[in-house]
Each structure stands twice: as C-alpha cells, then as structure tokens.
Structure 1
Amino acid sequence: MANKYLQAAEQVLEKNSRMLSVGEIWEQIQKEKIPLESDGKTPWASLGASLYTNAKKNDGKFFSQGNRPKVFGLKVKKYSSAVILPQSNSQSIVPKDNERVLHPLLSVFVHSNGHFEAYTKTIYHEKSNREKAGLNKWIHPDIVGVYFPFNGYKKETLELLEILQSNTYKLFSFEMKWELLADNYKEYYFQAVSNSSWAHEGYLVAPKIDMDIIPDLERLGNAFGIGIIKLDVIRPQESELLVPARTRSIIDSDTLDMLVEKNDDFKIFVDRVLKNKKTNEVTETNYDKILSDEDLSRYITEHNKIFQEKGLINKDYF
C-alpha cells in the first residue's frame, strides 16, 4: 500500500480492537509518533479522504460503518457489534442538511456578540466543483463570517488606523453539528480543523454538548486552536463560548484561493467583503439575514418540532 496515510491508519487499526473514526485515528498517529512525512497543510483531511476512497474499493484494505461519525476498520480483522460505534437512539432521524436550521440562530449570536460582531454566509458545499464525492466534507465550512473594523468610525480615523496597520479585519469559519458527544466529538473537531485553515478563527458549534468532554476539547484547543460554541436555540444571543479559538495572524491563502475557485457561495462572500472594504460601509446583501426579535421568535416556533426531536427543548415549552 503506497499511500502513506493509509499505511499509518493500518498501523493504528492493527493495534485496536474496535473501529475508529478519522479523528481518533489521527490522534493515535500523533500519540504514537508514527512517521508521516506529509507536505500538505491539512494532513488529517488527506487521511480522511484516503480512508473514504479506499473503503469504497472492492479490493481496498479498509471498510466503513455508521455515520456521524463514520468509523473505519480493517477487512482482515473481525469486529463484534459490541465494539462498533453505536448510532443515535432517536427514532426520528433528521437529515444532516437540516443542521442548517441552526444557521440563522448562530448568525444572530455572532452578530450580537462583542467578540465577533460578524456578518455570516451559509456555504452550500453541494454547489462546489469536485473531483471525488465526499471530499467536500473536509474542505468547506458550514458558515463563514467576517468582522469589519470600520463600523462607527469617522473617515479620518479609518485612514489613520490603516496607516498604523491597526485596522484589523477578521474572517471566521464555523462548523455546525447537532451534538458533540463522547463518541463523535473527535471526528467533528478535526473536520473543523480542516475546514478552517483559511480563516483567522475556527469554531465548532452545537446546541447539545456533553460537558464531560470539555477538558479534552480544551486540550485539543491548546494544540489546534479550534473554539467551541454552545448554541442556545431559544435565546441564541445567550449562547456560550466554551473554549476560545486561537487567532491566526497568517491564514492559509492556498485554501482560501481554492474555495473561491470551487464554491460560488464562498466567492460571493469574498466579493461582498471586498466591496464593503472599498466603501467602508457594510451592505447586508449576500450575507445571511439577521433575524429581528419578532422574526426570531417566529422562526423558533416554526422549528420547535425539530428542536424537540433533538432533545434541545422541552415539549411543553410552546
């Protein structure tokens, strides 16, 4: 097997009695210090793409099971049902794309929160040009955001700040999930790592988070810099920033350029940011709508069934 990522994954899986997600395999590669001479900026993404591709081949060494997260094993090993990652207990599974139901709520939070003051745009990964199915999972963020430093300043102040190089724009990347639990958070975390290299700050967002995993998320945050947001679906303005993100001073320009080329939504977002920069005025066209208090109340009511099914609100709330 010539693929260096698959060789490393095989070495990890040979030592484990259960199937592992991409995030768990990557963490084990690091823990065991398995040599991996990667020249890429997102090796965990290359690992995931290699495993997904190999598992689909009839003559591949790997196979996969489950979803959210998908776990991988070696065909030469036998795994009992007891060691395969369990699926959700919910009897009514909401399609994955319905995570976008949460996007307007996050937009309300990051627009009103003093740390962000951001305008957002949802990125539809299915619109992208792609060579292989599944690879977009490791490339595209769910939501992107921008902070404009010129709101509220006079023209003269802005010109001086630009001369002093203290007028800082900021790009944000958000990966949205319904829940972060002990059996899925590593997979989702490294997806967020992969999807955010182009941004100054990257975040993993969910309305349901197992608080027992917070210490490990903090440890991962120290290593990889991804922040954690607990989204409040009833009062999104009161959502919590549980783990701060590390701010990058230098972003991955190659990935930024690739996203502009591959995805129309991302290109529209970048074009709008550039136009707003030229005029020093934010026009909200082509950004996600920020719901008013009245619209927000109506929106939450309209989607209360989904929130109830996901265990985010009590059925007697409405």
Structure 2
Amino acid sequence: MSNMHIDLKNIHERELHPFLVRYLAKKMNIYTKTIFHEVSTKLGKGKSEWLHPDIVGFNLPVENWDEKVLELCGNFSINRATIYSFELKKTITIETLREQFFQAVSNSSWSNEGYLVGVDINTDDIELMQEINRLSSAFNIGIIKLNLINVEDSEILVQPRRKEKLDGETINKLFSINKNFKEFVQVVLHSIKINQVVHNGLDKVV
C-alpha cells in the first residue's frame, strides 16, 4: 500500500524516525540511533553543515557465531559489524533530488552503506527514477521508500554496494563533536565485544 493517504505537510521529519527505526530492525536487522545535530559542539559557520546523518545503525553479521570461528575470521580481517547511515526526507521529487542526494552523500559516505530515505517518492515518474538510478550508480548511495501505512512494505529502490572500509577521519570528527554519535560508537564496540546487540542507548523499536 502507498503513502497517498498520509498528509505530510504537518508532519515533522523527526516524527518519521520511529517508522524507519522499525523497518530497519524488523526487515534489515539493523539497530539504530538518532543523531541530534543540535547537541553537537559548534564548529563555526559551514564547518558542520551536511556532516550529521539523521540516523546511524549497525548489525552484527556474525552474531551467535562460535568464539573459535570468530577467532579464525579475525585472522582474515572479516568485519565483525556493518555500519549504516541514513538521511531521511518527507518528499523526494526531481526538483529536490539533487540537493537531497548530495546531502546524503556528504552525511553518509563514511559508512559501509549509506541511504537516502523518502516517504513520498513517485516511482511512476520515469525522469525521477532515471536520475535516482544514475546518481546512485555514480555515488553509491541507496534509496529506500518508506511506507507509513505498513512499515514492513517499505522497499529498497536502489541497493548500494557495500564498502569494506569506513572513513575514519569523518567518524572521528562526528565522535568528537556529537554525544549521540559517541554513544553509538560505544554501543557498537560493546556489542562486538560480547557478540550480540546491546540495545541500551539505541532507538527503541516501537
């Protein structure tokens, strides 16, 4: 079912977060934390613009593996966690796509997988879909259409290629200025250590 009966005009983008958080947890096994840019240390005009993703997340592809198997894989540099970044918009149109897309590139390219998420995306608009596919192919950002009527019917319109390496410089910058991101990193590290997702400090799945 589509989102056509939802009036987005009076909905704040942050009110959409619980829908995305639920979809990611239930369908993609990704556990998330909202990043509030307003709690960041101020860096001066322009220095932190397009730095903060709306939501960050992770999963443990090796959760419940035996410790000996993990030890073996550790010797072959297999990633213990995959890190995701999401930029969330109410509406994505051909007029708004380019700016929104490059905001997602700027905010999310540090992660293993970055996504631009929209509620109102007209997938029948051929021009829009062609441009989405062109940009996604060129800059490796995925696109998710979020369904507010039935969250689990949300769909990945474009799947990004997973990058093996994280951008440590950007991660360090976010870590140093934003307490939400610092808490997220600590949760990921704790989860890797005990090899199961630590939910304390993450967004609640409703």
TM over 0.5: yes
In structure 2, the residue matched to 1:223 is: 138
In structure 1, the residue matched to 2:112 is: 200
* 1:11-52 Cα deviation digits (max 9, x unpaired): xxxxxxxxxxxxxxxxxxxxxxxxxxxxxxxxxxxxxxxxxx
Matched, 1:143 2:55: yes
- Tell whether the 8 Å contact from 1:182 to 1:210 is kept in structure 2 after alignment: no
Separation in 1, partners of 2:39, 2:26: 29
Which one of 143, 165, 168 corresponds to residue 77 of structure 2?
A: 165
Which one of 14, 35, 40 corresponds to residue 100 of structure 1?
A: 14
Q: What's the offset of the Cα at 1:235?
A: 1.4
CA 1:135 to 1:236, structure 2 compared with 1: closer, same or farther past 3 Å?
Answer: farther
Q: What's the offset of the Cα at 1:101?
A: 1.0
Separation in 1, partners of 2:69, 2:76: 11
CA 1:286 to 1:171, structure 2 compared with 1: closer, same or farther past 3 Å?
Answer: same
Q: What's the offset of the Cα at 1:183?
A: 1.2
- Tell whether the 8 Å contact from 1:173 to 1:203 is kept in structure 2 after alignment: yes
* 1:83-107 Cα deviation digits (max 9, x unpaired): xxxxxxxx99547xx2111111111
The number of residue pairs the alignment matches comes to 197
Separation in 2, partners of 1:94, 1:261: 34
CA 1:92 to 1:122, structure 2 compared with 1: closer, same or farther past 3 Å?
Answer: closer
Secondary structure at the counterpart of residue 32 of structure 2: strand
- Tell whether the 8 Å contact from 1:107 to 1:290 is kept in structure 2 after alignment: yes
Secondary structure at the counterpart of residue 203 of structure 2: coil
- Tell whether the 8 Å contact from 1:120 to 1:287 is kept in structure 2 after alignment: yes
Q: What's the offset of the Cα at 1:164?
A: 3.5
Show the 5 A alignment for 1:238-317: 238-291=153-206
What RMSD in Å do the two structures reach over aligned CA positions? 1.9
Q: What's the offset of the Cα at 1:214?
A: 1.2
Q: Which has the higher contact order (CA 8 A, sep 6+)?
A: 2
Separation in 2, partners of 1:227, 1:143: 14
Separation in 1, partners of 2:80, 2:136: 23
Matched, 1:183 2:99: no
Q: What's the offset of the Cα at 1:134?
A: 5.7
CA 1:196 to 1:278, structure 2 compared with 1: closer, same or farther past 3 Å?
Answer: same
Matched, 1:128 2:40: yes
Q: What's the offset of the Cα at 1:177?
A: 0.3
- Tell whether the 8 Å contact from 1:199 to 1:252 is kept in structure 2 after alignment: yes
Q: What's the offset of the Cα at 1:167?
A: 4.5
5+ residue gaps, structure 1, are 1-90, 292-318
Q: What's the offset of the Cα at 1:162?
A: 2.3
* 1:225-245 Cα deviation digits (max 9, x unpaired): 010000011211121000111
**Aligned-pair identity (%):** 40
Q: What's the offset of the Cα at 1:118?
A: 0.9
List structure 1 runs of 4+ shifted beyond 4 angstroms.
none
Q: What's the offset of the Cα at 1:159?
A: 2.4
In structure 2, the residue matched to 1:111 is: 25
* 1:117-156 Cα deviation digits (max 9, x unpaired): 2110000001111233465441000000011123232323
In structure 2, the residue matched to 1:69 is: none
In structure 1, the residue matched to 2:149 is: 234
Separation in 1, partners of 2:8, 2:99: 23
Show the 5 A alignment for 1:64-75: none
Supply the AA of the counterpart residue of 2:200: T
Supply the AA of the counterpart residue of 1:183: E
CA 1:254 to 1:92, structure 2 compared with 1: closer, same or farther past 3 Å?
Answer: closer
